């Protein structure tokens, strides 16, 4: 049964937006009395039946609903790359892995200082539907490294960097039963001063192995370790 996303939900009916309505009626050729699943991004899965197959505003009636508890927080903060396609890839795959919050952070060596939250939220919703999850991750507005690092985030905060300095293997310090956050730097890495500031604010310096990884690869490797260890 196809799955759609909507936050236009009343006590008995749900309205699909124009894009999902067009996809359901024009592409999938669904019609009245066909059943579809709908998620609201807040932990509820609705089993529904189409009562108005309007391709611009499809309306369904709710047959059943089931609630799912929220995931254990898994947070990603990263410095967006200059190639925005790679940033979109990070968001898409991070949602599939199980991320719950994403923070774009601009550090001294950041090559890109623009972030389209609206576009990233659409990618997030699409990945949510594809991956079978029920809670929509939070996509935060961009912020400076200093503002981010001095804010309280989670029980376990990690910063990955490539400097020749004391670090722990991420795989040895993660705990998927706890609220965790990983901070990944730009292609030019964090500065020594930024790393020192992070350590002063209860971040643990970690490495992701012997190979030097690009930002987008590091994000996904780190999240996979944190989710499954």
Structural domains in the chain, CATH included, are 3-67 (2.40.240.20), 74-228 (3.40.1280.10)
**Helices 84-97 and 117-131: crossing angle, nearest 10°?**
40
Gap between the Cα atoms of 30 and 83, Å rounded: 38
What is the C-alpha radius of gyration for the chain, rounded to an integer number of angstroms?
20
Q: Is the pLDDT of residue 156 over 80?
A: yes
- Does the structure show a pLDDT above 90 at 3? yes
Q: Given this model, what pLDDT does residue 112 score?
A: 84
Mean pLDDT over 10-20 rounds to 95
Local confidence band at 76 (pLDDT 50, 70, 90 cut-offs): very high
pLDDT confidence tier of residue 189, bands split at 50, 70 and 90: very high
**Mean pLDDT of the 95-109 span:** 96
**What is the model's pLDDT at position 210?**
86
| Mean pLDDT estimate for the chain | 95
Tell me the backbone φ, ψ of residue 39, rounded to 5 degrees.
-110, 150
Q: Report helix, strand or coil for 217.
A: helix
In terms of DSSP H, where are the helices of 132-214? 145-149, 170-173, 192-200
> pTM (2 decimals)?
0.92
**Is residue 202 left, alpha or beta, with left meaning phi > 0 and alpha meaning psi from -120 to 50?**
left
Could you tell me how many residues make up the chain?
229
């Amino acid at each position: 049964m196809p799955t759609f996303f909507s936050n236009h939900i009343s006590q008995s009916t749900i309205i699909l937006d124009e894009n999902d309505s067009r996809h359901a009626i024009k592409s999938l050729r669904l019609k009245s009395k066909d059943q579809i699943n709908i998620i609201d991004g807040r932990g509820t899965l609705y089993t529904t039946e189409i009562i108005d197959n309007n391709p611009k505003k499809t309306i369904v009636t709710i047959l059943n609903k089931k609630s799912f508890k929220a995931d254990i927080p898994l947070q990603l903060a990263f410095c967006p790359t200059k190639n925005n396609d790679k940033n979109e890839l990070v968001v898409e795959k991070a949602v599939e892995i199980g991320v719950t919050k994403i923070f774009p952070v601009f550090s001294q060596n950041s090559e890109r200082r623009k972030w389209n939250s609206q576009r990233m939220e659409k990618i997030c919703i699409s990945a949510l539907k594809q991956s079978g999850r029920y809670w929509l991750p939070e996509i935060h507005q961009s912020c400076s490294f200093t503002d981010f690092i001095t804010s309280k985030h989670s029980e376990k905060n990690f910063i990955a960097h490539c400097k020749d300095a004391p670090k722990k293997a991420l795989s040895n310090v993660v705990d998927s039963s706890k609220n965790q956050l990983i901070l990944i730097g730009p292609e030019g890495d964090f500065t020594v001063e930024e790393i020192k500031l992070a350590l002063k604010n209860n971040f643990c310096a970690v490495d992701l192995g012997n190979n030097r990884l690009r930002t987008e690869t590091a994000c996904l490797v780190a999240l996979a370790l944190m989710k499954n260890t």
